[in-house]
Each structure stands twice: as C-alpha cells, then as structure tokens.
Homo-oligomer: A and B are copies of this chain.
Amino acid sequence: MQKKVSQGMVDEWIEHVSAFTQLGKVADYIPALEKQDRENIAIGVYHLDGECVGAGKVENTFTIQSISKVLALALALMDQGEDYVFARVGKEPSGDPFHSIAKLETTNPSKPLNPMINAGALAVTNMIEGTTPDEKVGRLLAFVHELANDHSIQYDQEIANSEYETAYLNRSLAFFMKQHHVIEGSIEELLDTYTKQCAIEVNIKQLARIGAVFANEGKDIESGRQIIPRQLARICKTFMVTCGMYDASGSFAIRVGIPAKSGVSGAVMGSVKDFGGIAVFGPALDEKGNSVVGMQLLEMLSSRLELSIF
C-alpha cells in the first residue's frame, strides 16, 4: 500500500504555512536573492508512479544554490568513481558551519570533511569532467535536463555573476585547498563553474522530479532508465541525511527524518524511498539558513505520511 499525497493535502498545507511567511529572513548577501518575494511559497511532490501534485506559486522559478551540491556529487561520482572522489573529500558530518575553513587546517592531510560543506562542494565541482567551465556546466545542465526531464533548464546569468563577484570566502577555501593539493587548476575557472552551478534555475515541480529520481534509486520515473547508478544515488541520499541541512542536519533528522538538501534561495529537495521526490520553497530563512516555511511543510508531510526513515 503506497503512501500518496493528494492535491487537497498540499493545498491545505500551503494554506496553513502561508500564515508564517513573515517569519525568518530572506538571504541578502547578493541583491538578486534579496529581491525574492517572501510570499512566493510552494510545494511539489513527484510520486514514483509519475503522478505529481503541487500547490502555491508553482510557476515561480528559483535557483537551486546548495542543492546543486548533491547533483554535482552524483555527476562527479559517475565521472571519476567512488574511490577517486572520496580520496579527495571525506564522508563524515561536520560540527562546523558549512563555510568553515578551520577544519581544513587542523585536518592532516588537509581534506574537506564531506561534499556538502562548501570546501567539499568546491572540490567535487572541480572533479566534474570537462576542460572549460562552459563544458563542465554544460555537462551538469545536461544531467539536470535528464533528471528533470526538461531540456529548457538553464542557469540564471545575473545571479551567477553576482555570486562570482562576491565569492571571497569560497575563493579563500579554494586557494587553501590548492595550496594543499586537494584541488588543481584555475581557481577563477572553478569559481565560474561553481557559481553557475548554484544559479541553475528550476520551478517546484522540476525540483520535485529531480528528487524523485534519487528516491527511485537513480532510475528515471517514466522510462525506468538508470540515470544514476543505484549505489551512487544511495550515497547522495546518505549525505542528505547526515549533512544536508547545514548545521541543523541532526535536529532535522529527528524532527523530519527524510533525506533532504536545502539551498540559501529557500528551496529544499527531499527524496524518500518507495514514495517520491519532494520540493518545497519559501525565501525566508531561519538562523541556520533553511527555509522557515519549507521546514514546516516537510515536517507536516513527514508526520502526516509517516515518512521518517528512523
């Protein structure tokens, strides 16, 4: 007996959380994010039978930001293999903030703790095959097109530019890793690739479908084709549980208990085995950087349908 979400449910949940859109703070570190409307909230659920329901501003698009870390990881694992990737990036959760550099210095040899913190994500993006940023981003977009089954998805050039110009901390992390031979090549090209990756723009149902492919053990929902090898999809979901929600991952695991990855735009993507993909959106963030409304929606969804894996 498979668990299903109905249109009535998502409508009700959106109505419920629309009372809380004034809570939290819209990310302001780049102007393009700051101007997001905090009323633009949405939820989408993509079941493994192909059925998809959505509510809220389902036509609104947003950038995926840190959610792209999961997609880049899947692609890098497919490009280079597990051994290569995990020789350069660790598998352990971190008690530090996602942008922290101190652990890179105290770990000997220097190695980012996992692919979900910024240092690890930069190292992972650096491992995507391609000789130029355009080629790497092109390959990542092609991968996203497959996952979302939509070849129109692009990155937002303005947001990418804006992030590129102000990405001082990521440059600091990248140069530190270059010094310690964790990464090679041009840092500016890496930053170019990384900021475009973060600026990939989707709507709520596209994101839910991407999540559904991970939930479906890497297989395309309609065709059943294996887009991501099963073991690699599983690895991605594991990181979503242990370190997908910044340094609120532990409490999210207790409160909600599903594999999920959030981004600073206010989006969260979830992937639940035998159920489907979930996407929620709400630009206002809590102090940990996770969407306030998104967290509420996921908590309602998980408790109502008993989705917790624990």
Chain A interface residues (CB < 8 Å from chain B): 90-96, 100-103, 105-106, 113-114, 168-169, 171-176, 178-179, 187, 234-235, 237-239, 241-243, 247-251, 253-254, 257, 259, 273, 308-310
Are B113 and A106 in touch, CB under 8 angstroms?
no
> For A235, what are the chain B residues with a Cβ–Cβ distance below 8 Å?
254, 310
Shortest Cβ distance from A113 into B: residue: B95
How many identical chains are in the complex?
Answer: 4
Cα(A248)–Cα(B96), bound, Å: 17
Expressed in whole angstroms, the minimum distance between the Cβ of A233 and any Cβ of chain B is 9
Expressed in whole angstroms, the minimum distance between the Cβ of A274 and any Cβ of chain B is 11
> For A173, what are the chain B residues with a Cβ–Cβ distance below 8 Å?
172
Are B172 and A168 in touch, CB under 8 angstroms?
no
Interface centre among A93, A94, A102, A178 (most CB of B within 10 A): A93
> For A103, what are the chain B residues with a Cβ–Cβ distance below 8 Å?
95
> For A172, what are the chain B residues with a Cβ–Cβ distance below 8 Å?
101, 171-176, 179
Cα(A97)–Cα(B247), bound, Å: 17
Are B249 and A234 in touch, CB under 8 angstroms?
no
Cα(A237)–Cα(B243), bound, Å: 16
Shortest Cβ distance from A94 into B: residue: B95
> For A106, what are the chain B residues with a Cβ–Cβ distance below 8 Å?
102, 106
Expressed in whole angstroms, the minimum distance between the Cβ of A70 and any Cβ of chain B is 13
Q: A169-B175, A273-B310 are in contact. List 17 more A-B contacts (CB 8 A).
A: A90-B250, A91-B253, A93-B250, A94-B94, A94-B95, A95-B103, A101-B101, A172-B174, A172-B175, A234-B310, A235-B254, A238-B257, A238-B310, A241-B242, A241-B253, A243-B250, A309-B309
> For A171, what are the chain B residues with a Cβ–Cβ distance below 8 Å?
171-172, 175, 187
> For A242, what are the chain B residues with a Cβ–Cβ distance below 8 Å?
93, 241-242, 249-250, 253
Expressed in whole angstroms, the minimum distance between the Cβ of A235 and any Cβ of chain B is 5
> For A239, what are the chain B residues with a Cβ–Cβ distance below 8 Å?
250
